Structure 1
Amino acid sequence: METLVELWNYYAQNYAYVWEEFYRHFLMSAYGVLFAAIVAIPVGIFIARNAHLSKWVFSFTNVIQTIPALAMLAVLMLVLGLGPNTVVAALFLYSLLPIVRNTYTGIRNVDQAFIESGRGMGMTKFQLLRMVEFPLALSVIMAGLRTALVISISIATIGAFIGGGGLGTIIIRGTNVSDGTGIILAGAIPTALMAVVADLGLGWIEND
């Protein structure tokens, strides 16, 4: 009960600050996924056309995925310094694998009958991609974006350690005070809600 009271009091006294960090946290996550999508979707389409290159691309993205988030942030910090830009760069790297993999899978799994029909109508390769392959693969690509965004929201929490801000700042503040469970929850609950809402929102778009 005391924890709930502490949580309520923290929100009542710091609602503007919590909202500011919530907004910053979401922007870092969204920008990381957006920049990754700009790179990863074309790469996924390219390796779907050139399957012999897929193992090299997936090997690279898999290696990135195995690097602990704190280690990744520490390395990037040496190049980019402290702040949200470094966090966005890390989220960009972590978002590559799910988007590339789902784009590759979606394009490769398009029914060849639709492609042959398009060719029979005289479509060019670009027209086939734009009007046939990409629309049919879009739900699978959206699933990759959905996964990437949820991963980014969770990893962005650690960005507070390098001055990136976000809800992780509140969680760290709670760990640095005695009996700061309420403060920890004040940062953890919005983070979890953000991830759930992002997942449900993109899931709705994916199934629409």
Structure 2
Amino acid sequence: MPRIQPVADELLDRNHADLLATIRGAYGSEPSSFALLAHVPGLLEAVGDLSEAVMGPGRIDAGLKWMVAHVASLSAGCQYCSAHTGYHAAHAAGVREEKVAALWDFATDPLFSRAERAALNLALGAAHSPNATTDADFDELRASFTDGQIAEQVAVVALFGLFNRWNDTLKPELEDAPLRFAEQTGAYAGRNEGRSR
């Protein structure tokens, strides 16, 4: 149960119709956390615009973006976001479920390329508090990515830093599809500690 009351569905639909239509078109439904973001005037639209800029088409492919988001959310310990990012990696970006389930073991699992390992290591370190990235991490990234691609990866981690803090603090109800995916694959934070539902 969320720690604050969500904005009523009819009010959310009336005040945020365009954004909700875009999200529903892309992902089938909107996250329940939207009804919590809507409490702060202008925040839902700002987060929507930021999400579109960061997660939309760019210099790195959608699958890598969602895997970066997933590892960042696992590192932050956010059950809600790690369930969502794993689900979207597989269902919106086409990453194989086996690979999503193995993301926590990216450093040693043969499913991951050198470039993916470098990106996921960045996500792991950058999502850690305090930040645990090193100059050596960036040397490894430069073997596979341009500065623009690296900046895009950091933007994904930063976006999910906001989502991880928001969602892990306010505890929105986890929707059925990402919950089922997380339970089937084990691809969520705190999988041995229960879930936030």
Q: Same fold (TM over 0.5)?
A: no
